[in-house]
Amino acid sequence: MADKEDPKNGKMGKGKSKVVCGYPLSIFFIVVNEFCERFSYYGMRAVLVLYFKYFLRWDDDLATSIYHTFVALCYLTPILGAIVADSWLGKFKTIIYLSIVYAVGQVAMAVSAIHDITDSDRDGTPDSMTFHIVLSMVGLFLIALGTGGIKPCVAAFGGDQFGEHQDRQRRTFFSVFYLCINGGSLLSTIITPVLRAQECGIYSKQKCYSLAFGVPAALMVVALVVFIIGSGMYYKAEPQGNIMLDVCKCIGVSLAYTICINTFYITAYQQWLKKLLIAQIKMVLKVLFLYIPLPMFWTLFDQKGSRWTLQATTMDGNFGALVIQPDQMQTVNPILILTLVPIMDSLIYPLIKKCGLNFTPLKRMTVGMLLAAIAFVCAALVQIQIDVSTKQLLHSSPYILSGQGFIYFKLTIKGKANSDTEIVENQAITFVGFTDYFLVYFRFVNGMKTAVNVSTAAADFGLIEPFYYSNYSQIKNGKATFTLRSGSQSCEYSTNFGFGSSYTFFIHSTLVFGSNCQDSVTAVEDIKPNSVHMALQIPQYFFITAGEVMFSVTGLEFSYSQAPSNMKAVLQAGWLFTVAIGNFIVLIVAELAKIPKQWAEYVLFASLLVAVCVIFSIMAYFYTYIDPTEIEAQFKKKINEDDEDDKSKPGKAEVEMVKRDSIKCHDEYDKATQTKM
């Protein structure tokens, strides 16, 4: 479709879109669509690992494995999306159809998190976990198909809206596009954990995972509607055949040419065409070869959504006026991205250049990898702090005495606060499963000769017989006031519960009702509150994000600049593929290594990345930067020169014949080599 003239800005965008400030109006719909879609994706992803752990009751390892399988799938499906868009449906229809699949997946996730659906005994826990697991897995599969499928299409579709002479506007569009990704991610990672922390339900109130998944589902529907509204204004390029298939064909044909170079007569024109093709394939293969070590970076990077979030659940999120949820810590990444990208671009890189250092893209990527390794060393140090604080507990309270000499408890605490914790005492074994970061456990031991009722303003915990103790109950962390009652007499006891703590309260036999009973109750910490503050995760977030800026942003630019003009999409798909492999590596290493100590696993990942980084820097040392446009221009000049020479200029049929003969020759070569074998 021809570009239309804009009186102010010269050439305007393609399609029927109006032009506002030099930009086609259609891109507004694409940018808003991306914002809503990324909100939907990152919002759902932020609470996913906690949904696995607290709703589906999976252990940390299973939760981490399924999380990374899902992320890996999200980065495998772009290849599928690119094939469907390029060879069959075109980008517009692919985005529409796969967005519907995506929205259905998000709705399935929201429904899977409604505990009331299978809670027939109405005790607040689902009775058929299989239903919830199956539905959520189907939902995640559809989401992976949708989000990955549209990923290579949306940005490219946005780029398609610009005319040939709108390079500056197109560049600005991509910057805004990237800001929208991180804006959507930032907002949703703040909002969905807050929604998750709400209580909701028909028969019983539980943490509201359904709302935390429901809002991202609604945002995906909004993304789809906004995209459809812009429909009449878009420039919709026709599908141009399968680029992936083309590359494979190209490689096959060029191999055939190489093998048969002396077998067939090829005109000068064809020679140059062939040489251009081979040069382009070489460019791609060289970059793809450099990609081999890259997945290790993503192996570490994507653990911020799994291992790091689980680590945050064992930490203290009290920031004074603000109480941070463990999954909200992930917002540190987009916040730092939004600040670090401009700082790097306008300050750090120019400063390094001024110092006379040639900080090439591959050097930047190497430094990015090292920064990610440092982030994991920080995570290991934080983990050691957490483990030490849990160990102190084991030594500090093995024996608990009621104070009145009538009952002795021996407590052996296994496990960590906020993880499934077994509390063993000399009379009973109680299994306590923590169901939420904000809930803490407590029980009372009654040392009085009369039965005592314990309640708060919100709940009644029942009657405790003389010289007996209650079961553990849950209460929100923070300040709590208990009313102790015997017949018509009562008194109040107030205390503070820290994150992840558990207490036994001993009611003294000397307690006098009607007066202040604060001094007649002794509180003993069964499990100490999380004492390591979540702020200690900030250094690891800083290093991983600085690593992301140097590695990911540079890597994207590098892949684009080193790719031949007709194979830029192939390299984008290749780049996304490294993310998928990286997430599979988490599964393999975590499964094979089976390291009992979390800090040691962090150190292992850091060491692996350093080793890979050394290999990458050696590969990078031997890489020669190229300017594909210049190389292609030289080839095209030669082709044009020979094209002008009528004698050597082949007709279309002749070119086809050469191709056919080359493939035939290739087949014969195959046959010959097979016979030899």
Q: Give whichever of 55 and 75 is closer to ligand LWJGWPZZ, judged by the CB atom.
A: 75
Q: Which of 23, 35, 39, 42 binds ligand LWJGWPZZ (CB under 6 A)?
A: 42
Q: What is the CA radius of gyration of the chain?
A: 31
Instruction: Work out how close the CB of 188 gets to ligand LWJGWPZZ at its nearest, in angstroms, rounded to a whole number.
Output: 9
The yes or no reply on residue 185 touching ligand LWJGWPZZ (CB under 6 A) is: yes
**Which tokens go with 150?**
């549209």
Cα distance between residue 4 and residue 168, in whole Å: 17
Instruction: Work out how close the CB of 100 gets to ligand LWJGWPZZ at its nearest, in angstroms, rounded to a whole number.
Output: 21
Q: Give whichever of 337 and 534 is closer to ligand LWJGWPZZ, judged by the CB atom.
A: 337
Q: Give whichever of 310 and 393 is closer to ligand LWJGWPZZ, judged by the CB atom.
A: 310
Q: Which of 334, 529, 547, 582 binds ligand LWJGWPZZ (CB under 6 A)?
A: 334
Q: Give whichever of 182 and 509 is closer to ligand LWJGWPZZ, judged by the CB atom.
A: 182
Instruction: Work out how close the CB of 81 gets to ligand LWJGWPZZ at its nearest, in angstroms, rounded to a whole number.
Output: 14
Q: Give whichever of 331 and 397 is closer to ligand LWJGWPZZ, judged by the CB atom.
A: 331
The yes or no reply on residue 182 touching ligand LWJGWPZZ (CB under 6 A) is: yes
**Interface region with ligand LWJGWPZZ, contact rule CB under 6 A, candidates 121-129, 160-168, 177-185, 433-441:** 177-185
- Under rule CB under 6 A, which residues in 19-38 are in contact with ligand LWJGWPZZ? 38
The DSSP bridge pattern shows strands 206-207 and 199-200 to be antiparallel
Instruction: Work out how close the CB of 37 gets to ligand LWJGWPZZ at its nearest, in angstroms, rounded to a whole number.
Output: 10
**Beta-ladder partners of 412:** 424
CB of 231 closer than 8 Å to CB of 33: no
Q: Give whichever of 333 and 531 is closer to ligand LWJGWPZZ, judged by the CB atom.
A: 333
List CB contacts of 324: < 8 A, sequence separation 6 or more.
Answer: 317, 534
Instruction: Work out how close the CB of 34 gets to ligand LWJGWPZZ at its nearest, in angstroms, rounded to a whole number.
Output: 9
Instruction: Work out how close the CB of 181 gets to ligand LWJGWPZZ at its nearest, in angstroms, rounded to a whole number.
Output: 5
The yes or no reply on residue 337 touching ligand LWJGWPZZ (CB under 6 A) is: yes
Residue type at 213 in one-letter notation: F
Cα distance between residue 87 and residue 241, in whole Å: 4
Closest CA to 67 of 85, 50, 87: 50
CB of 328 closer than 8 Å to CB of 537: no
By CB under 6 A, the count of residues binding ligand LWJGWPZZ is 8
Instruction: Work out how close the CB of 76 gets to ligand LWJGWPZZ at its nearest, in angstroms, rounded to a whole number.
Output: 15
Instruction: Work out how close the CB of 546 gets to ligand LWJGWPZZ at its nearest, in angstroms, rounded to a whole number.
Output: 12
CB atoms near residue 31 (< 10 Å) = 19
**Interface region with ligand LWJGWPZZ, contact rule CB under 6 A, candidates 256-264, 332-340, 369-377, 479-487:** 332-340
The DSSP bridge pattern shows strands 199-200 and 318-319 to be unpaired
Chain centroid to Cα 321, Å, comes to 28
**Interface region with ligand LWJGWPZZ, contact rule CB under 6 A, candidates 135-143, 330-338, 421-429, 515-523:** 330-338
Q: Count of residues for the chain?
A: 677
Instruction: Work out how close the CB of 368 gets to ligand LWJGWPZZ at its nearest, in angstroms, rounded to a whole number.
Output: 13
Q: Give whichever of 223 and 517 is closer to ligand LWJGWPZZ, judged by the CB atom.
A: 223
**Which tokens go with 80?**
């599928």
Q: Give whichever of 195 and 491 is closer to ligand LWJGWPZZ, judged by the CB atom.
A: 195
Q: Give the position of tokens 């030289």.
A: 634
Q: Give whichever of 180 and 277 is closer to ligand LWJGWPZZ, judged by the CB atom.
A: 180
Q: Give whichever of 154 and 378 is closer to ligand LWJGWPZZ, judged by the CB atom.
A: 154
Buried b / exposed e over 503-541, threshold 16 CB at 10 Å, is bbbbbbbebebeeebeebbbebbbbbbbbbbbebbebbb
Q: Give whichever of 185 and 418 is closer to ligand LWJGWPZZ, judged by the CB atom.
A: 185
The yes or no reply on residue 181 touching ligand LWJGWPZZ (CB under 6 A) is: yes
DSSP sequence for 145-207? HHHHHHHHHHHHHHHHTS-TT-HHHHHHHHHHHHHHHHHHHHHHHHHHHHHHHSEE-SSS-EE
Q: Give, for 468, the enclosing helix (H) or strand (E).
A: strand 468-469
CB of 70 closer than 8 Å to CB of 144: yes
Instruction: Work out how close the CB of 499 gets to ligand LWJGWPZZ at its nearest, in angstroms, rounded to a whole number.
Output: 25
Burial of 195 (0-12, 13-18, 19+ CB in 10 A): buried
User: Residue with the closest Cβ to ligand LWJGWPZZ?
Assistant: 185
Q: Give whichever of 145 and 337 is closer to ligand LWJGWPZZ, judged by the CB atom.
A: 337
- Under rule CB under 6 A, which residues in 581-620 are in contact with ligand LWJGWPZZ? none
Closest CA to 570 of 368, 562, 551: 562
**Which tokens go with 50?**
């906690």
Instruction: Work out how close the CB of 334 gets to ligand LWJGWPZZ at its nearest, in angstroms, rounded to a whole number.
Output: 4
In the chain, what is the straight-line distance between the N-terminal and C-terminal CA atoms, in Å? 54
Q: Give whichever of 187 and 603 is closer to ligand LWJGWPZZ, judged by the CB atom.
A: 187
Ordered alpha helix ranges (H), 397-481: none
SS (H, E, C) 263-323: CCCCCHHHHHHHHHHHHHHHHHHHHHHHHCCCHHHHHHHHHHCCHHHHHHCCCECEECCEE
Q: Give whichever of 181 and 247 is closer to ligand LWJGWPZZ, judged by the CB atom.
A: 181
**Interface region with ligand LWJGWPZZ, contact rule CB under 6 A, candidates 119-127, 329-337, 517-525, 650-658:** 329-337
Sites of contact with ligand LWJGWPZZ (CB under 6 A): 38, 42, 181-182, 185, 333-334, 337
